[in-house]
Chains A and B, each alone.
Chain A
Amino acid sequence: MREITYAEAIREALRQEMSLDDNVFIFGEDVGQFGGCFGVTAGLYEEFGPERVMDTPISESAILGAALGSALMGLRPVPELMFSDFTTVCFDYLTNQAPKVRYMCGGQVEKLPMVVRTTTGGWIRAAGQHSQSLEGWFTQVPGLKVVTPATPHDAKGLLTACLRDNNPILYLEHKVLYSVSGPVPEEEYIVPLGQAEIKKEGTDVTLISYSLMLNKTLSVAEQLAADGISAEVIDLRTLSPLDHDTLARSVQKTHKAVVIQEAVEVGGVAAQVVKSLVDSSFEYLDAPIKTVAACNTVIPFSPPLEDAMLPNEEKILAAAKEVLG
């Protein structure tokens, strides 16, 4: 199968869906003629024109507001926020607005298709306000789905699924993964939302992660395999709603779990996964569940500091070894 990058896979999902459905349109800062600050939407403006790929002023509230309003009217907007760190300036739309409209109007509106694409994560030396992993905040909003691919294959399939979903969705693309290549089918396909995937089967310990950390976790699983340890690696893919069943089945099999997230260690998806496992599989656990996360501090600029503060393979390996005893 041909290999393309994570960024190209996202672009392909967008292009294929925009060709199939005239209601799908993209807008955001620099997405049009510039092709996006990370190059993800390159070529789409030329192919679909300014009515379907629209450049905007620096106005995140106006961007998400326009997305919500047009979704209410039957269009399928795909607004882009350049960095997830900027969700803060348009927070209302991801919390009080889009996720609540259908509920508060008693279902007068049924479809609310709004896929908010944004970038996440660190390691690009962009410091405290451009490197965060903020997905945790949004998993606590009922009515909003949160999705994040770890591979080019999932990037295309998950995004296609999001574009066909009829709910407000926050779709997080890790900046470092943009240039990573992987096998991606040429035709359109979906990767279902709400389903975690066992990326590597195993028997001795369950390692649960997502996004860039999932890739680091897979490397650690290989290192463990060299030591004769069979780790099962689960990619959450959809952070909200969580796939509790896949998590339970795995941990009931391996009896040990480590949860890895790039976000800071206080709160977040890892804490939710721990709660899920405690609720479903407490009697099956042979050891306390460990989590690996960033230090609870601001992401510093200086490269050695950033590298030390964010979770890495050493920390993941150490945590796995600890639960294995």
Chain B
Amino acid sequence: MELSKEKLLDMYKTMVSIREFEQSLSEAVTAGTLPGFVHLGIGQEAIHVGVTTALRPTDWVSSTHRDHGMLLARGADIKRMRAEIFGKVTGYCKGKGGSMHLAAFDKGAPGCNGILGPSQTINNGIALALKKRGQGDIAVVVFGDGAAHRGEFHEALNLAACWKLPVLAICVNNQYAISVCFDDACAIEDIAARSSGYGIPGLVVDGNDVMAVYEAISETAKSIREDKGPALLELKTRRFKGHFEGDPQSYKTPEEVAEEMKNDPIPLFVKQLLEQEITTEETLKGIDDEVKKEMQEAIEFAEQSDYPPLEEIFTDLYYEERRNV
């Protein structure tokens, strides 16, 4: 579990990069330049970085609409991510997916599914293939507290448990499914408690502490790689912004929002790093500046990229034809 100083600083940099990436999208929404909708994961960086740090590059991680950060943490190119969100041909999906279908398959990240639920069942298929390959890689699926009530949650975990698939199901519980509070949508306190219904381990983890997330995922992944079967983790956290950017969060009181932001994972990690004398404020500031520069380059890249040509309307539909006849 021992992480080197370089690794810890790398984690810090990734968390800050994610924060910058999301903030800049927020600014674009305010400026009216962003097409469609984005769902920002500001406040959930500990989850993105804690999870990915604990995994192998050859593991697979499927994630949600709030997880641009997960793809970034898996090593996706920040320029191509920004370009995709703005519908440019240089984006990961040639501009045809956008934020809600952003994927980086070469990083083992099928990305966001626009429908809640299927990512959990599809992940079982990925896990089945990984199991057959026999390299000990695992298939992680991240979903929210809202999606945990879809039928797929049940079908996927039951099948994964029956077939002993190398599945790590992670429920990110930020207490809200758009405007509906978790307590109003769920009969129990912890989604993780449902694990016993499938005969698999279930854990609740503090999703605001990147090291707690890292540790829990590491240990769980180790167990799954040892062929002990799937597990369900619940990471408790909060999202600081609305469901989509532009949502004024009228369903939360200002006091609640202020309270949520007290558990900001980035200052929390900084405090831990400084207290243990792993780094200095100066070094961290240097990293912050580097990140700002990289973000600016990504913004310019996306702005200067073209939209896809009209022919792309018909490509990628069928394997052989590339055109819809």
Q: What 1/0 mask marks residues of chain B from 209 to 245 whose CB sits below 8 Å from any chain A CB?
A: 0000000000000000000000000000000000000
Whether the pair A105, B158 counts as a contact (CB closer than 8 A) is no
Give the shortest distance, in Å, between B84 (CB) and chain A (any CB).
8
Interface string of A103-136 (1 = CB under 8 A from B): 1111111111000000000000000000000000
Inter-chain contact A165/B121, CB cutoff 8 Å: no
Does B250 count as interface, using CB distance less than 8 angstroms?
A: no
The answer to whether B65 has its CB under 8 Å from any CB of chain A is no
Interface residues of A in 119-170 (CB under 8 A from B): 142-143, 145, 165-167
A241 near B121: Cβ-Cβ < 8 Å: no
Q: A107 touches which one: B111, B132, B155, B316 (CB < 8 A)?
A: B316
Q: Which residue, of A75, A110, A112, has the highest number of chain B Cβ atoms within 10 A? A: A75
A-chain residues with CB within 8 Å of residue B128 when the two chains form the complex? 66, 69-70, 75
> B residues within 8 A CB of A97?
113, 115, 118, 122
Q: How far is the CB of B277 from chain A (nearest CB, A)?
A: 43
The smallest beta-carbon distance between A4 and chain B, in angstroms, is 30
Give the most central of A56, A74, A104: most B CB within 10 Å: A104
CA of A97 to CA of B14 in the docked complex: distance in angstroms?
A: 31
Q: How far is the CA of A97 from the CA of B125 in the complex (A)?
A: 13
Q: How far is the CA of A16 from the CA of B160 in the complex (A)?
A: 29
Partner of B159, one of A56, A73, A111: A56
Interchain nearest-CB distance for A82 vs B (Å)? 16
Q: Which residue of A lies closest to B124 (CB)?
A: A66
> CB of A302 within 8 A of chain B?
no
CA gap between A104 and B110 in the complex, in Å: 11
Interchain CA distance A67-B118 in the complex, whole Å = 12
Task: List A contacts of B316 (CB < 8 A).
Answer: 102-103, 106-107
B123 at the interface (CB under 8 A from A): yes
A66 to B121, CA, bound (A): 6
Interface residue tally for chain B (C-beta within 8 Å):
48
Closest Cβ of chain B to A247, distance in Å, is 14
Q: How far is the CA of A112 from the CA of B122 in the complex (A)?
A: 13
B162 within 8 A of A: yes
B152 contacts A67, CB within 8 Å? Answer: no
Pair B105/A66 contact, Cβ less than 8 Å: no
Complex Cα gap A111–B319 (Å): 6
- By the criterion CB–CB under 8 Å, are B115 and A96 in contact? yes
Closest to B141 in A: A69
Find out whether the CB atom of B324 lies under 8 angstroms from the CB atom of A142: yes
Which parts of B267-287 form the interface with A (CB within 8 Å)? none
Residue B92 CB within 8 A of the other chain: yes
Bound-state Cα–Cα, A75 to B94, Å: 25
Asked if A106 and B94 sit within 8 Å, CB to CB, the answer is yes
Question: Quick one: which of A70, A109, A241 contacts B125, CB cutoff 8 A?
Answer: A70
| Residue interface mask B88-125, A partner, CB < 8 A = 1 | 00011111110001011110001101110110111111
Asked whether any CB of chain B lies closer than 8 Å to the CB of A43, the reply is no
Beta-carbon contact of A73 and B125 below 8 Å: yes
Residue on A nearest B157 in the bound complex, by CB: A62
Residues of B contacting A77 in the complex (Cβ-Cβ under 8 angstroms): 125
In the complex, which of the residues B92, B127, B159, B320 has the most CB atoms of chain A within 10 Å of its own CB atom? B159
Q: With A70-B126, A106-B95, A106-B96 as given contacts, are A62 and B158 in contact (CB-CB < 8 Å)?
A: yes
**A69-94, CB < 8 A from B:** 69-75, 77, 92-93
**Contact indicator A143/B318 (Cβ below 8 Å):** yes
- Indicate if A195 sits at the interface (CB-CB under 8 A): no
Contact: B92 with A108, CB < 8 Å? yes
Q: In the assembly, what is the distance between CA of A59 and CA of B111, in Å?
A: 24
- Bound-complex Cα distance A110 to B317 (A): 10
Given B103, B125, B315, which contacts A68 in the complex, CB threshold below 8 Å? Answer: B125
> What residues of A have a CB within 8 angstroms of the CB of B93 in the complex?
104-106, 108
A61 within 8 A of B: yes
- Contact among A103, A109, A166 with B320 in the assembled complex (CB-CB below 8 Å): A166
Contacts from A to B (Cβ < 8 Å): 51, 54, 56-57, 59, 61-62, 64-75, 77, 92-93, 96-97, 102-112, 142-143, 145, 165-167, 241
Given A62-B152, A68-B125, A241-B325, 7 more A-B residue pairs with CB atoms under 8 Å apart are A57-B159, A59-B159, A65-B118, A70-B129, A71-B125, A106-B92, A112-B319
| A to B CB contacts below 8 Å, 16 in the list | A59-B155, A61-B121, A62-B152, A64-B121, A69-B127, A75-B125, A96-B118, A102-B317, A104-B93, A104-B97, A105-B93, A105-B96, A107-B316, A108-B92, A142-B324, A166-B319
